[in-house]
Chain A
């Protein structure tokens, strides 16, 4: 499965629609398949990012604040969203893989 994280430097980006950088990780249920890919987006656009998420076949989005319309869109597309995350993105991914990441979580700094 593919997991997408919106990032800003080492952290989860504060807002989905303002993100210009994403990381896509692939997970086979036991371990990550290779190094997660980092993609720099040409500009800020929640719509284009949503399109990319659908086209990439992402199954889970980990992000900061996200508007309800986009959140609902992903749910409708059967894409899980763990939003409102504050903290280091690598830590967020590890916690997600361990089944310990919840929406609104503030990770230890």
Chain B
């Protein structure tokens, strides 16, 4: 053994050793104050050892496990290592899931002198693709708004029953993801989740897809086909766009839901199935029932549990969050250096109604990431229709009607040549007149959040100076 190396090892080699380990490491004394941190932890926290030597470890790690230092003091008191899962907030303001291994350090006389804390990044474990996308459904449904929080609370409840679920919401609101989340959390999660779009296939084809057929049932039926119901045996069948299902098939579906058995096309033997049904539609099913386009009995059979997904314009607090989420995903995917949207670009996005909801927002962000040549997405990197089209009043095609109708716009830009701002001002005044000054209802009618309406009221000089000063004070 090289004697010189052995002598200098404690002084020279320990920092090198700590830096060679690809995990964040902190060494603290008996008072839980920093003695050393390695370069990985410096990179994660954004602080340098020279600046934080002697600082309480809580303030450096920014974890959710510290309990004001009690966690570390417990290990010091007991002398037993602890492994705890939690998270930290990194220098770039990301919450990163971590496994903290806290071990006591002893000197030569076995006296406890401090702790070593090793941080193991669990991002890849929690989210194997690193994109929060298809692999972990619950991770990919995002929202902090009160309306989405209500939805998140309902998902586990719905997962633990066997009743049919009807999910409604405009196109692009995430009905498929919610359906899959319910399945994944249910006792049927180990069994198949089969999705079929009832609006995409003509009636005969949809029937054969759903119920299957036997060989010789019709020309071209050269072998048995099991059908989606049998493929989903023990699992969940997700019928999307159920509102578009032809009436004759609705009868057959109702019969299967009641009896849990059916005849495949051309078959003489009944097939028994154990399948949970989740249906979804962007159409107002109740109205279609009244119009005779959807069977009332099937409507009630499917609508045992109902989940309505709010459109993005009713989730104002989520828009910013989703923009950042998709920006991070697409920047990672494309290896782009894009880091943020400019204030002006964000203003355009926040004022846009997103009739295509999250799908449209996602596509807009993807477009921007691909088009932007710098680190910041400017307004002119946005799709042109966002810039040329004013903050539009949403027209949710076939969606649930609003409780009151918007006042008929007396004028349009094309008719008068007026600019959008003046039309928008008239529209706001008309709507407020209709709601007798009630801003919440006016915002709902206009498809904006209250904050957006307030901003626009200020833009158009429609608020009193007293209100403005109250807001500032």
| A residues in contact (CB < 8 Å) with B | 8-9, 11-12, 14-18, 47, 57, 64-69, 71-73, 76, 83-84, 86, 104, 106, 109
Contacts of A71 in B (CB 8 A): 93
Interface contacts beyond A14-B61, A65-B89, A104-B47: sample of 10 additional A-B pairs, CB < 8 Å, sorted by A:
A14-B58, A14-B60, A47-B144, A57-B471, A57-B472, A64-B59, A65-B90, A84-B46, A106-B47, A106-B55
CB distance from B60 to the nearest CB of A (A): 7
CB distance from A81 to the nearest CB of B (A): 10
Taking A15-B89, A86-B52 as contacts, is the C-beta distance between A76 and B59 under 8 angstroms? no
Contacts of B367 in A (CB 8 A): none
A27 to B243, CA, bound (A): 59
Stretch at the interface among B15-23, B62-70, B74-82, B168-176: B62-70
A39 to B393, CA, bound (A): 41
Contacts of B62 in A (CB 8 A): 14-15, 64-65
- The contact of B324 among A12, A14, A68, A104, by CB within 8 Å, is A68
Taking A57-B472, A66-B93 as contacts, is the C-beta distance between A72 and B324 under 8 angstroms? yes
CB distance from B460 to the nearest CB of A (A): 19
Once the chains bind, are A69 and B321 in contact (CB under 8 Å)?
yes
A17 to B320, CA, bound (A): 18
Contacts of B93 in A (CB 8 A): 65-68, 71, 83
Q: List 12 A-B contacts (CB under 8 A).
A: A8-B68, A15-B63, A64-B89, A66-B89, A68-B93, A68-B94, A68-B324, A69-B321, A84-B46, A86-B47, A86-B55, A106-B47
| B residues in contact (CB < 8 Å) with A | 46-47, 51-52, 54-56, 58-64, 66, 68, 88-95, 144, 317, 320-321, 324, 346, 350, 471-473
A109 to B46, CA, bound (A): 18
Once the chains bind, are B52 and A106 in contact (CB under 8 Å)?
yes
A65 to B58, CA, bound (A): 11
Most A CB contacts (10 A, CB to CB) among B47, B58, B93, B471 go to: B93
CB distance from B351 to the nearest CB of A (A): 12
CB distance from B397 to the nearest CB of A (A): 30
- Which residue of chain A is the closest to B66 with respect to CB atoms? A14
Contacts of B92 in A (CB 8 A): 68
A14 to B67, CA, bound (A): 11
